Amino acid sequence: MPSPGPGSRRGSRSEPGSCARRRASSCSCATVGAVRSRRLSQPLAAVALRSLLAVDLWLSRRLGLCAGEDSALGGVRPLLKLLELSAQRAAWVSSAAYLLLTSGSPQQQETGLNLLMALLLDFVLVKVVKAFVHYHGSEMFVTFRPHPRYSFPSGHAMRAAMCARFLNARLLLDAPARALLLVWVIVMGLSQVLLGQHNISGVTVALVLGYWQYSLVESCWLPIDWLQDVAMTIPGDSLVTQKE
């Protein structure tokens, strides 16, 4: 019988390189299959939420037309930054303190006192929500902070919504003034997106929280008598301590 030639011996053996390639391809197929199965096993609500957040991030970046001086509407950026000052916490705290300390009417003093309490609540609520969102490192919350400029929620939008509802409820404004307040809140929220500082979701949630925040302030409304009782109690306690 003729002995097999060298070519047949080479063909009967598998080359090491082909084995390695087959093993690599099988591993890659297994990895892709595992990823696909993991995606399919996720709840539909989580997949939908991630899709919405991705759309929110994409659309927010597209609307950041004033994010920088070289942006499409970079020339409007100084005007929007000037508008942003109208919702600064320091300006509202100063106005509320001035109203509380200089007004001779108990009603105006009561308004200034509760406005100060509302601004304090606004400060705490913004810090708590931002810390909560920043604390979670899951994919669900990562899109809220794609860049250090993008924070969640918008403190300016929340404060604008709360202060606008406060003024609308306590100052008995006429129709043009109410319309002006509404325009101010809308433009304030839109400016935060145009400046590239917040996503659309961050501004929307901030407006809702600011509107709800006044409801909480109204349910815990402090009368001016409470402040007078506190002011009378502190000196009284100090006098009793000095006598003892």
| AA identity, residue 221 | W
Let me know: does 59 contact 207? Beta carbons within 8 Å. Answer: no
pLDDT at 164: 94
| AA identity, residue 53 | L
Around 155, how many Cα atoms within 13 Å sit in the side-chain half-sphere? 22
Let me know: does 156 contact 164? Beta carbons within 8 Å. Answer: no
Q: What is the mean pLDDT of each run of 10 residues along the chain (244 residues)?
A: 51 51 53 51 74 81 77 81 90 92 86 92 89 52 41 88 92 86 94 87 91 91 76 53 45
pLDDT at 239: 38
Select which of 134, 136, 147, 198 is catalytic.
198
Distance separating alpha carbons of residues 20 and 26, to the nearest angstrom = 10
Determine whether 136 is an active site residue: no
Determine whether 156 is an active site residue: yes
From the list 198, 219, 99, 109, the residue with the least C-alpha distance to 148 is 198
Q: What share of the chain is helix, strand, coil (3-state, %, to 5)?
A: 80, 0, 20
pLDDT at 11: 47
Residues 6+ positions from 174 with CB-CB distance below 8 Å: none
Question: pLDDT tens, 66-107?
Answer: 777 777 777 788 888 888 899 999 999 999 999 888 888 888
Question: pLDDT tens, 21-48?
Answer: 555 455 555 554 554 555 555 678 777 7
Longest dimension (CA), the chain: 127
Q: pTM of the prediction?
A: 0.68
From the list 180, 170, 159, 154, the residue with the least C-alpha distance to 86 is 159
Let me know: does 214 contact 166? Beta carbons within 8 Å. Answer: yes
| AA identity, residue 74 | G
